Chains A and B, each alone.
Chain A
Amino acid sequence: MGGAVELEQALADALRLLISGDRALWSIIGLSLSVSLRALACAAPLALVTAFALAYLRFPGQRLLVTLFNTLTAVPAVLVGLLLYLLLSARGPAGDLHLLFTPTAMVIGQFLLCLPLLVALAHGTLRDGDRRAWEAALTLGAAPWRALLTVAHELRFGLLAAFIAAFGRIVAEVGCSMMVGGNILYHTRNVTTAIALETSKGAFATGIALGVVLLAVALVLNFALSWLQGNARPAAWA
């Protein structure tokens, strides 16, 4: 019973915090979105081209690469964080860049995290897609990169779903951001590292408020996706 009352209280406090436009809270939310969107924007083109090569070209080691990317989707965020930490720390090979505990380090970490997932999902979409689209584009004289854009357009809903899944993975990860970001308020504190911190402090309201924001982001993305897919149904063509 006590637990339920506490949760109710925390939820009410959370909503009040969100509505009142608490500066620290909104800086945290802003950082989460900006880091994850930047990571996704950097990874998406590279992942698309890689997935494309894996699905449509023939070269030695192709199957091995597919397996590798599929395996890498399961790497824990905290391990990516650890490796990146060792790389960026003052005595690490890339220490001179002074990137540790900056949002850029977090972007790099999330980039590494979402790349294999994007490649694996986009590869699945392209492999299961109609190969005739690629062939028709090429035979009608499209340069390979324009044929790639054509196929990406033809399969845009599947690819968009892959992007949204990847965004969901990185916006919700905590281990890597904590390791290489350092959870510094107004600088590298994002939604997930903040939840971890607030919870350890016993400040459940802030933790829940942040959780609500994460859920809201996910909800908006999924509504956007199903709206787009709904608009593309063949019934709408006739």
Chain B
Amino acid sequence: MSGGEALIELGAVEVRRDGRRILDVERLRIDRGRTLLLTGANGAGKSTLLKLLAGLLLADAGSLRCRGVEMARGSAARYCRGRHVYLHQTPYMFDGSVRDNLAYGLRQRDEPRATRDAEVDQALAWADLDALALRHARALSLGEQQRVALGRARLLDPSLLLLDEVGANLDGANQRLVQTLIAERRARGASVVVATHEPAPLLALVDFHLHLDGGRLAVVQRDFGSVVPLRRPRTPGRS
């Protein structure tokens, strides 16, 4: 675990929709091997931030550095996709079997079939889906679909894993699976950002606690007592 190496850095990043600023991050740096907790009310911009980090949407302003290299916003997004894997709150299952779904990312990498099959077999075992391998993914229960999504992301060994709204929607077994996954990622020197309403079960695993309020990012100290804003207060008339 080589701490201190920055995976991605955002500077003065803004995302606007319909003329409204929905995300406003003065600076954010995610180092390798770190686990970050992201809290905030509904609509505070948690998904927007996670999708930005995943390269699924483009910032309207600001700078992005990936592994220390300053990149144009489009290039940064391309760089992030496939390396930073985003998991939806309700997972999307492709129209196919559980196996097909697990293999999706590996197929995009054009891995040879034999390697792919072996990796999928391993993922099936990890997510306890062996018995369901050939079932249609959309015929599974929500909990089973969540396991498919976790296994599908884990297979790609992402340097940054972005979990959107991990909480009430997970049953006990899946909660434990998420915790295992987070610990595993950390052991591999990879980073995780977990957005959740219910931080309690994850607190032991996280290094930092970020809080979003109306699109503004603040860091909560490790004792979870004080909130330190990550941006200077905006004074009217300041350029």
Binding site for B on A (CB under 8 A): 130, 132-133, 135-143, 146, 150, 153-154, 234, 237-238
Interface positions, chain B 1-17, Cβ under 8 Å from A, are: none
Instruction: Report A58 CB to chain B, min CB distance, Å.
Output: 8
Contact of B139 among A138, A153, A238 (CB under 8 A): A238
Q: Is the interface of A mostly helix, strand, loop or mixed?
A: helix
Contact of A142 among B88, B90, B92, B108 (CB under 8 A): B108
The 29 sampled A-B contact pairs (Cβ below 8 Å) are A130-B92, A132-B88, A132-B90, A133-B94, A135-B56, A135-B92, A136-B92, A136-B94, A137-B94, A137-B104, A138-B56, A139-B55, A139-B56, A139-B82, A139-B86, A140-B105, A140-B152, A140-B153, A141-B81, A141-B108, A141-B156, A142-B82, A154-B94, A154-B95, A234-B139, A237-B135, A237-B139, A238-B135, A238-B139
Given A133-B92, A153-B95, A154-B94, A139 and B54 contact (CB-CB distance below 8 Å): yes
Instruction: Report B204 CB to chain A, min CB distance, Å.
Output: 27
What CA separation (Å) do A136 and B54 show in the bound complex? 11
Chain B residue numbers with a CB within 8 Å of A140 are 82, 85, 104-105, 108, 152-153, 156
Instruction: Report A190 CB to chain B, min CB distance, Å.
Output: 37
- In the assembled complex, B109 has its CB within 8 A of some CB on chain A: yes
Central interface residue in A130, A135, A143, A154, by most chain B CB within 10 Å: A135
What CA separation (Å) do A143 and B104 show in the bound complex? 12
* Contact B85 A139, beta carbon cutoff 8 Å: yes
Chain B residue numbers with a CB within 8 Å of A143 are 108
Binary A-proximity of B88-125 (CB < 8 A = 1, otherwise 0): 10111011000000001100110000000000000000
What CA separation (Å) do A150 and B83 show in the bound complex? 19
What CA separation (Å) do A37 and B105 show in the bound complex? 35
Contact of B92 among A132, A153, A234 (CB under 8 A): A132
What CA separation (Å) do A133 and B83 show in the bound complex? 18
9 new A-B contacts, CB < 8 A, other than A136-B92, A139-B55, A237-B138, are: A130-B92, A132-B92, A135-B56, A135-B86, A137-B94, A138-B56, A138-B81, A140-B108, A141-B82
Chain A residue numbers with a CB within 8 Å of B56 are 135, 138-139
Cβ-closest chain A residue relative to B137: A237
Chain A residue numbers with a CB within 8 Å of B135 are 237-238
Chain A residue numbers with a CB within 8 Å of B109 are 141
What CA separation (Å) do A143 and B85 show in the bound complex? 14
Binding site for A on B (CB under 8 A): 51, 54-56, 81-86, 88, 90-92, 94-95, 104-105, 108-109, 135-136, 138-139, 152-153, 156
What CA separation (Å) do A130 and B91 show in the bound complex? 11
What CA separation (Å) do A140 and B90 show in the bound complex? 16
Contact of B105 among A130, A141, A154 (CB under 8 A): A141
What CA separation (Å) do A233 and B55 show in the bound complex? 33
Instruction: Report B87 CB to chain A, min CB distance, Å.
Output: 8
Contact of B51 among A135, A153, A154, A238 (CB under 8 A): A135
* Contact B139 A146, beta carbon cutoff 8 Å: no
Chain A residue numbers with a CB within 8 Å of B136 are 234, 237-238
Given A135-B51, A140-B105, A238-B136, A150 and B94 contact (CB-CB distance below 8 Å): yes
What CA separation (Å) do A150 and B85 show in the bound complex? 17
Cβ-closest chain B residue relative to A237: B136
Chain A residue numbers with a CB within 8 Å of B94 are 133, 136-137, 150, 154
Chain B residue numbers with a CB within 8 Å of A133 are 92, 94
What CA separation (Å) do A142 and B88 show in the bound complex? 16
Q: Which 4 A-B pairs have the closest CB atoms?
A: A141-B82, A237-B136, A140-B105, A132-B92
Instruction: Report A237 CB to chain B, min CB distance, Å.
Output: 4
* Contact A136 B88, beta carbon cutoff 8 Å: yes
Cβ-closest chain B residue relative to A136: B92
Instruction: Report B168 CB to chain A, min CB distance, Å.
Output: 19
Instruction: Report A145 CB to chain B, min CB distance, Å.
Output: 11
What CA separation (Å) do A218 and B90 show in the bound complex? 40
Given A132-B88, A237-B136, A238-B136, A139 and B95 contact (CB-CB distance below 8 Å): no
What CA separation (Å) do A218 and B140 show in the bound complex? 37
What CA separation (Å) do A132 and B95 show in the bound complex? 13
* Contact B55 A138, beta carbon cutoff 8 Å: yes
Instruction: Report B92 CB to chain A, min CB distance, Å.
Output: 4
Chain A residue numbers with a CB within 8 Å of B86 are 135, 139
What CA separation (Å) do A67 and B94 show in the bound complex? 31
